[in-house]
Structure 1
């Protein structure tokens, strides 16, 4: 039985349709995670793609918000020698885990994950151009890790690889098939939007695939590829749990303010407020 509320999906898509492609471009450029990747590219060139993919695969159960964590990673990554082999990259990433402030939990589990991914990381290092087809990257990562292709860190790896190619001035293929990475913030937004009438925790666990399908439908109906849609709705929702404690209208205003800011004013206040009203349609904790 599907948990999707089709009317809410249509409502969310209808307001996102008003965001111009130029605004989406600017929002991504102002994403702190893109700034982090750009810093790595400046030091490591196209081998930064492999660094971005490796870190994305262990970007879960973080001790810092994702925006701050990636800046920490970029500071570290810009000081190390450029890895020349998958094993060397894995060992470097283990060293990062040992000292990271933002990635402290289940460190051994993450180290083993990197070891399993080493063959793909090796190929990304040696043939970064091959993985400009993001579908190839997703397929190979899912295969080596024994995971579903829509698993959060795998599609997130594709997103961060896309950021690396963008920083290199290179186009990518296959991005329209990449779903939204469903982390806890996106699960909360799925619940708050009313697209799935359940709590954020249940969306994140029991209804994960339903949530991914909901955002895929929003992507198709709004005309914004899910790979880009992630930045448009995820970035302005920073601190949303804290903001919701101050009330629904406060959370909507903060979301709208950030959306205007990240787009450098290309998204006007009225449009941003309409988007916020549909994305934060209800209090997901009430």
Structure 2
């Protein structure tokens, strides 16, 4: 189904791990149907993203400080106990009642208070608090000079440097995406977005497997083949002409509940995905195209594969 397997050494693993190649045929097939989506549809989908609505609420209360608030929350947006869409609305509701942070220290202190109260972000709280502390110098700069970091590539490098993380690490690129949403709500043009890859969360790992981009089940994509998955979606972005930061909303949003839907059945999951894609695009993407996109995104049942 996919390209050949080869052996590669995984640093720190103490053993040889299977590395897999990206299925270029599947990249081209998926990119071909995504290329048919008009730019206006992508724009509408982003405007209807609940996460964008959450960030827009932050902007209405905190102005340009919302950029740093959004980035800070993105850095701790992992191992959530509710869907990301719902979690960001929780955060926006909480932060809209708080005073505007005047310094990086105030921002980090407020974020720690949110962690202590959040219903959607309860796991590994101490780890996330330490992560915020390490990010403090970068968040201070972002709070002081938000317009400077409308160059999203610069923002990614600043955050990755502060955290000692890879540039493509999930929460780093997710912070760039949420900062982009804040800049968009502020009416500030951004640059450098074409080089920002898609954030690879569990939902995207399922789609990576289901689309056939990688010949591995979702859990293995998420834990062992993250780099290959990121590369695969970068290839889809390049082939489709849709930058990763925009492609993320197009493929990720309609996949809410995807694991449950796939357990019911592949055809059911495709129908649900297509319905959501039409809905989020407010009909700019018609049913026919939505069904074809769903057929390529959910090309196979990823849970029928052997681990």
Within-5 A mapping of 1:70-81: 70-81=88-99
Counterpart position of 1:281: 299
Counterpart position of 1:228: 246
Deviation at 1:205, TM superposition (A): 1.4
- Give the whole-Å Cα distance in 1 for the aligned partners of 2:169 and 2:60: 29
RMSD (Å), alpha carbons? 0.6
Long gaps (5+) in structure 1:
none
- Give the whole-Å Cα distance in 2 for the aligned partners of 1:50 and 1:144: 14
Within-5 A mapping of 1:92-103: 92-103=110-121
Counterpart position of 1:264: 282
Match of 2:64, SS state, is: helix
Counterpart position of 1:249: 267
Q: Is 1:63 aligned to 2:84, yes or no? A: no
Counterpart position of 1:115: 133
Counterpart position of 1:27: 45
- Give the whole-Å Cα distance in 2 for the aligned partners of 1:25 and 1:33: 14
Q: Is 1:162 aligned to 2:190, yes or no? A: no
Counterpart position of 2:15: none
Deviation at 1:66, TM superposition (A): 0.1
Deviation at 1:49, TM superposition (A): 0.2
Could you state the TM-score of these two structures normalised by the residue count of structure 1? 0.99
Structure 1 residue ranges (4+ consecutive) displaced by more than 2 angstroms after TM superposition: none
Deviation at 1:3, TM superposition (A): 2.0
Alignment deviations for residues 210-252 of structure 1 (CA, whole Å, 9 cap, x no partner)? 0000000000110100000000000000001111111111000
Match of 1:147, SS state, is: coil
Match of 1:205, SS state, is: helix
- Equivalent residues, number: 286
Deviation at 1:139, TM superposition (A): 0.3
Q: Is 1:152 aligned to 2:170, yes or no? A: yes
Counterpart position of 1:176: 194
Alignment deviations for residues 184-228 of structure 1 (CA, whole Å, 9 cap, x no partner)? 000100000001010101101111010000000000110100000
Question: Which of 215, 218, 221 is matched with 2:236 structurally?
Answer: 218
- Give the whole-Å Cα distance in 1 for the aligned partners of 2:74 and 2:122: 15
Alignment deviations for residues 131-153 of structure 1 (CA, whole Å, 9 cap, x no partner)? 00000010011111010000000
Counterpart position of 2:212: 194
Counterpart position of 2:60: 42
Counterpart position of 1:134: 152
Alignment deviations for residues 17-43 of structure 1 (CA, whole Å, 9 cap, x no partner)? 010100000000000000000000000
- Give the whole-Å Cα distance in 2 for the aligned partners of 1:53 and 1:147: 15
Could you state the TM-score of these two structures normalised by the residue count of structure 2? 0.93
